[in-house]
Chain A
Amino acid sequence: MSRIIGPIARLAALGLLLALVLKPEWFVPVLKPFTENNAPVIYNQGSLLSLTLYHLGLVAIASLIGTALALVMGVFVTRKAGAEFLPLSRSLVNIGQTFPPVAVLALAVPVVGFGVKPTLIALVLYGLLPIFENTITGLKEVPENVVEAARGMGLDPTQQLFRVELPLALPVILAGIRLSVVINMGTATIGSTVAAKGLGEVIIAGLLTSNTSFILQGGIIVALLAVLIYDGLAILERRVAKRTGRLAEVAG
């Protein structure tokens, strides 16, 4: 059953997303009840499409930077030379996660100004933890005798890392990236409070004018994006895991 339901639900979500972004006027009848005093039903202070693309772009850049940072840190602390930095790095990354992104924005704006920069800083810090932890877990889970074999065959440390350890850890790392992207997808809405373009604008406009219809539009688009990306990355992960034979082990 799930074989049929999965793709259908996916297609439905994608269709709904495209319609909301490209043809918002279609939803006037549904959203009308959520407005009062003849306020506009559909967000009218900018194109939803371009806001969606800005939003996606922001999350993409933050996730790329976050992934690069977390990967480098995760790899470093699992090497012999970096092992002693594990507790320190772990505390730093955890602070990044527990410190509220709004507070990061408030602290960053005086230093780097308004716009995209403070938002990126907040998103990168907030998304590090899952990628960092999963990189460490993935690398530690690589079977010891496989690494031993790699060394015994004469692979140097770099070759061991890139040909054996990282490819085998990839499914777990991807799961971390997936989590981080989804978290950032929602968190990115706060960027609009410091004038970074994105779907947060729609929600904030709704809040300022008590227009529930705007809030719903912004919220639903963000949620659909998150669900679809989560789903897409999960499929990619399964493909990668299948190649390494891990899925076969898990599934028995």
Chain B
Amino acid sequence: MIELEHVSRRFGEQLAVDDVSLSVARGTITVIVGTSGSGKSTTLRMINRLIEPSSGTIRIDGKDTAAVPGEELRRGIGYVIQGNGLFPHWTVARNIATVPTLLGWEAGRTEKRVDELLSLFSMRSEDFAKKFPHQLSGGEQQRVGVARALAAEPGLLLMDEPFGALDPIIRAKAQEDLLAVQRRLGITVVLVTHDMEEAIHLGHKIAVMDGGKLLQYAPPAEILANPAHGFVERLVNGVDRPFRLLSLSTVATIVEPGTADGPPLAETATLRDALSELLWLKRDALPVAGPDGSLIGRVSLAALRAHAGGPA
């Protein structure tokens, strides 16, 4: 649990972060989204005290972070930045071992942890451990960056535009990896992006910032359905809004009894995928298959339409 209480940060005359209060529940992903210069990175960097707040309090699990020495605090918090910032003169293994080495883990334990993390990100230790960062693709570098942040088993992971430098396909894969790892390890993630699409896809909760102020802090469905007046409204009121709404739920939530012709949809597919299939196949309904492949009902265009619209 992370709590920011009336946190502000000045740079000279400029108020980069202006009286932000928010709390992040343990084991969830919170995405801070906003335009360039809105204070996202500054907010994130105050959590691990790379930047000290000018005023306000930040607590992690009830403990005031100002009471812990900066280096000690940061060794306990994972940190991933855009372009990953891997140490170019160290091998992949040594990069990942950065924090365990600082913490004085014994060699055997560190080595085991490095192997574990490489395999968590589907990289074979024999192939990758001894490579240098410049010998990796951008996607691989990014995964090593996340592995390095997770090395000392932190409960909290801070990510500043971690996927900013990746091409769309690798980026989508990296997002799925993050979701899977977060679910598996149950860690708390605070992620910064300027991409609303990414925020909606990844966040359990989204914090929208503009001009240093926190404008709205709510789950994605809420942000889409009831955006705060002004900036947030403009941010989400694009043509994509119905599709974004649909992408938040799975077929399982609107499956109805009955049958239909055509290839079955998985119940784990998003409503957006379901709509896409229905439109493509020119049908009004498609059957839905459960996890074991047996048919459990159908999904209809009418139900999708009811789900995609705003308030009447």
Contacts and interface: CB of A to CB of B under 8 A. Distances in A.
B85 A159 contact: no
A156 B71 contact: yes
A143 to B, nearest CB: 7
Contact of A146 (B75, B87, B134): B87
A168 B133 CA distance: 13
A153 B74 contact: yes
Interface in A141-167: 143, 145-146, 148-156, 159, 164, 167
Interface string B68-93: 00011111100101111111110000
B102 A244 contact: no
A155 B85 CA distance: 14
11 contacts: A145-B85, A149-B79, A149-B86, A152-B81, A152-B158, A153-B75, A154-B71, A167-B89, A245-B88, A245-B134, A249-B134
A248 interface: yes
Contacts of A168: 88-89
Nearest to A152: B79
A159 B134 CA distance: 23
A contact patch SS:
helix
Contacts of B79: 149, 152-153
Interface of A: 143, 145-146, 148-156, 159, 164, 167-168, 243-246, 248-249
B136 to A, nearest CB: 10
A153 B99 CA distance: 6
Interface string B97-141: 011001000000000000000000000000000001111000000
Given A245-B133, A245-B134, A155 B87 contact: no
Contacts of A145: 81-85
Contact of A148 (B81, B98, B148): B81
A159 to B, nearest CB: 7
Interface of B: 48, 50, 71-76, 79, 81-89, 98-99, 102, 132-135, 148, 158
Nearest 8 CB-CB pairings of A with B:
A149-B85, A245-B134, A154-B75, A152-B79, A154-B74, A145-B85, A244-B89, A154-B71
A167 to B, nearest CB: 5
Contact of A153 (B84, B102, B134): B102
A191 B86 CA distance: 48
A243 B94 CA distance: 14
Interface centre among A152, A153, A167 (most CB of B within 10 A): A153
Contact of B89 (A148, A152, A156, A243): A243
A133 B73 CA distance: 36
Contacts of B75: 153-154
Nearest to A249: B134
B231 to A, nearest CB: 28
A151 B82 CA distance: 15
B99 A154 contact: yes
B94 to A, nearest CB: 10
Contact of B85 (A146, A244, A248, A249): A146
Contacts of A152: 48, 50, 74, 79, 81, 85, 158
Contacts of A244: 88-89, 132
Interface centre among B89, B98, B134 (most CB of A within 10 A): B89
Contacts of B71: 154-156
B235 to A, nearest CB: 27
A152 B134 CA distance: 21
